[in-house]
Structure 1
């Protein structure tokens, strides 16, 4: 019951602003710590009490030694019983109580709660990044940074609190107790504190910098390894195992060098502080004994001084590793910020409204888009697709056909111009509503590594089983789904498709993709050579399904196959990002332009592409 109480103090999935985290390290920490400030302040206060209790134990030790020397044994308990009871209460009750409370706040509340709250918010933010964001980085590195940044942030924040109290309480109390006994007894500790701070000031920035470089190299290594695993089929087909080993080896060598560089600085810091601690123990012990020999301090105060500096010696080693851990984690956080805190390049306006499609007209008005490059991809293109019209985009590779589709889906924002759907500028509507009104079947279909049912219901999560089975039947996917099985013993609709759908053939993936779009039933349909992965027999088998899929919809199809072109009302021929011809198949053949030349190159039902 007590565990559940502390585990529920932080709501992992709490509502938070859907905005980019700050890019500065301190502001990045503050942004998340503010969300759990009550728990963090509680941990701070409890940490202070624990540190005070720890110091009190050494004070008790010195006082017990003095009490045994000043009081006859027969009267000891009668004279000092109240103080002994208080010592017992502090040691047996208060110390375990507050240390247990500290552990509950850290282990039950902050460790799982804050860590996963930060991870959740990072995942939500990154999930809405533009397509270009994911194309410009390793998926493994992005995931690694999301996973490791959260625990690094939480751990370093908790370590700072613990180290802060132990350093300030131990050092401050020790100076007070030593000075109370004799002002000279505090001198070695004061000198040690000054030199200790100086060493940390010298080593910590260097450890921080090298830790950040080591973390960056670790993310790079993770990205390369995951990239190889994600493309294992390509690796094996080209027999490049050794090349892939060399690719990972290069990153591993770099990561090892960066870790060694960081470790050298840590070892130097360890040796330097250990040497300094030796002078503290020897100096304080000799001075305490000398002052005792002169009658200035008591035996108990000698025991207190020696015991406390030995404790400070052990604590300084712990603090050194804590400081190293703090800045190692800060380096990890800095590395994560470079990915997580990137601003989104495709965002909804604050006043964005849901797209409402009643007719399905699509209009491209003087659009310009270049992927941020100097050269032109699409420049000044105008095109109107009438409601219910089916057009085919035809042209050589690099003509801009896929780019036109990508900017219609608003996977990228236009540099200039406008795209309207039923008179609504897509830049002024929400991305979710835009894409919910457009069904897409691509040439390279990737499925989620989930069940076949989950993949199908991605088209419409609230669809009934009857609706799902009807879509599957129309796509002719019912011929193979019942026979599917996976390594987990799941079969049929419960079988998992594998990463990117690798457990299915290209034709099977395509039929599931078509069934998914059938289930979605969006008023605008985009087909990027939707039947290219199917053999002629399979394609013929689902022609009727595609005809059904296109009925009553505005269709834009990137087409090379004769079977696709024949069903189009109009063909739009593109070259170098511009429309060079438009018309029916017969009109374009008679015109004798680019389309006619492409047609002449056709082989086996394909329009040749350059």
Structure 2
């Protein structure tokens, strides 16, 4: 996980929300006006009370007292109406802003490269998507408006205090000056804690997600207690941060309660003295304290609203860390097209290293030169760590080369739009990932624009399942419409791999890249899949990472990857004669295959 290179001021940080807020700004302004109207109604009540105390009550005019009571009732009703209007103005627009931010956040996650997702924990992204964006919505609908209106109310109310006597107004304001110091201190300390808390909540979400996904491993090894201890430590850390946040809020609330009370006490003493010397009427003194009381809620709310503001600012920072993340794998400014794709795939002087690789480390791919002719099936073999899987990620631009080029029909893949490139190139991975939807939707995922319920889709689905030998689908409760569960974990590893292979086949690409997609299959099923694949591979260029001699047998030629370089290319027979390293690799494959067969027999 990374953070912003520099910390913006709170106003500048929140100003980044303006593009999202702009379409609904008129309604939010309407909400501010309604909230301000409610505040003004509450400030007018003391003025009415002043007139009543010095007039009708002093003179004993009962009818005027009744009318004054009706006036106060009307002002209270108008205040309630304005509060209702505030909510009516802002609730729907705020949810619209939340929707747009969440949509753009998810869209950004889909477009960011695999290297970004390698660095970021899924729980951190999930907490930003759900918790932080929701907090921003609540702040826009409630916190921002009330903070603005309450500050204006305090300023206007303070001005009213001078209306009765300058000494009372001055005393109230001077005694309140320490609140600005405590507010500044609070913003600094609470801002740091708020960020820590939200980051720790993201780490906690990651732990929960990992525990749920790895529940079989935890149970199998009896490590549930260990996972619980680790989780408890993280919870305790988060709890400690939340308690420190609560203490900061508590200290601010203390001063927000104490300072106004001190001001009230001093103003009461001064007010009584002024009234006793006929410099202030009883009605004016009563109105002063009614106004001061009306200002108490805006003053007290500042603690909560400032903490809300800082939480919202921190949430905005966290969301924009993702939205502002650099994406180097983008469409070119002047994209090229391939009119008649043939499927020639070429690696020319390809170098690759991961971003976090040390300066002294050699490139993982160190000058790969390899050409696959249209319709050719090339097996890629090598020992663990030679760079096979990394090489297979380059044709579809899951990663970009750091030097050299990958070409499709003579065109650098970086000169094609991602949409066109991935229409021509499809992949199946060793670690088969399925989505929490039906078998049909998983298999047809790569066929953009195809109605999954159309007769054409049925034909494509049936053919793909036949090639992948995924006949088990028809025995599922709802056949191809059966939901496979989260990440397909309700299926076996071999079943998931066959569905992933079917998905790649159903895309009908010109180039098929298979990263050991049959590793979880038993030998007999693998033989059936390979026989079916030969029909597909007859017209499709294929690059297959092989870990079994039987997979190598599928290929027209074999490329040997050794320490990041292609050291030999030829048929299986040719390489057995000419490449000692190839013979070593194949012998290791054969040993693994014998072990697997013996295991299957024993089972």
Instruction: Give the corresponding residue for 2:572.
Output: 585
What's the offset of the Cα at 1:328? 2.6
Q: Distance in 2 between matches of 1:76 and 1:27?
A: 51
**Contact 1:598-1:607 within 8 A present in 2 as well:** no
**Contact 2:133-2:315 within 8 A present in 1 as well:** no
Instruction: Give the corresponding residue for 1:341.
Output: 324
Matches within 5 A, 1:292-303: 292-303=275-286
**Contact 1:21-1:28 within 8 A present in 2 as well:** no
Instruction: Give the corresponding residue for 1:113.
Output: 96
Matches within 5 A, 1:278-289: 278-289=261-272
Matches within 5 A, 1:476-495: 479-485=471-477, 491-495=478-482
Instruction: Give the corresponding residue for 2:539.
Output: 552
- Note the alpha carbon deviations across 1:467-509, whole angstroms, 9 max, x for none: 2442255236563223324xxxxx3223221222100112221
Q: TM-score, normalised to structure 2's length?
A: 0.89
CA RMSD of aligned residues (A): 2.6
CA change 1:236–1:183 in 2 (3 A) is same
Instruction: Give the corresponding residue for 1:162.
Output: 146
Match of 1:179 among 149, 162, 171: 162
Q: Distance in 2 between matches of 1:452 and 1:521?
A: 18
Runs (5+) with no aligned partner, structure 1: 1-19, 486-490
Q: Say which is worse superposed, 157-166 or 22-31, in terms of deviation.
A: 22-31
What's the offset of the Cα at 1:455? 0.8
Q: TM-score, normalised to structure 1's length?
A: 0.88
Instruction: Give the corresponding residue for 2:38.
Output: 50
- Is 1:148 the counterpart of 2:131? The answer is yes
Q: Distance in 2 between matches of 1:567 and 1:160?
A: 65
CA change 1:68–1:477 in 2 (3 A) is farther
CA change 1:162–1:356 in 2 (3 A) is farther
- Is 1:319 the counterpart of 2:306? The answer is no
Matches within 5 A, 1:449-598: 449-461=436-448, 462=450, 464-465=454-455, 466-475=458-467, 479-485=471-477, 491-598=478-585
- Note the alpha carbon deviations across 1:527-575, whole angstroms, 9 max, x for none: 2222222112222333332122212111111112222211211110010
- In the comparison of the two structures, how many residue pairs are matched? 578
Match of 1:413 among 387, 396, 400: 400
Instruction: Give the corresponding residue for 2:108.
Output: 125
- Note the alpha carbon deviations across 1:2-33, whole angstroms, 9 max, x for none: xxxxxxxxxxxxxxxxxx99984244333433
Match of 1:60 among 32, 48, 73: 48
Q: Secondary structure at the match of 1:450?
A: coil
What's the offset of the Cα at 1:74? 5.8
What's the offset of the Cα at 1:597? 2.1
Instruction: Give the corresponding residue for 1:12.
Output: none
Matches within 5 A, 1:6-405: 24=8, 25-69=13-57, 71-73=59-61, 76=64, 89-92=74-77, 94-110=78-94, 112-157=95-140, 158-169=142-153, 171-353=154-336, 356=339, 358-372=341-355, 373=357, 374-405=361-392
- Note the alpha carbon deviations across 1:53-110, whole angstroms, 9 max, x for none: 2212232233333332355526637xx96x8776555443x33332211011232331
Instruction: Give the corresponding residue for 1:444.
Output: 431
Q: Say which is worse superposed, 125-134 or 543-552, in terms of deviation.
A: 543-552
Runs (5+) with no aligned partner, structure 2: 596-603
Q: Distance in 2 between matches of 1:202 and 1:21?
A: 24
**Contact 1:562-1:605 within 8 A present in 2 as well:** no
Q: Secondary structure at the match of 1:295?
A: coil
CA change 1:606–1:354 in 2 (3 A) is farther
Instruction: Give the corresponding residue for 2:598.
Output: none
What's the offset of the Cα at 1:393? 0.5
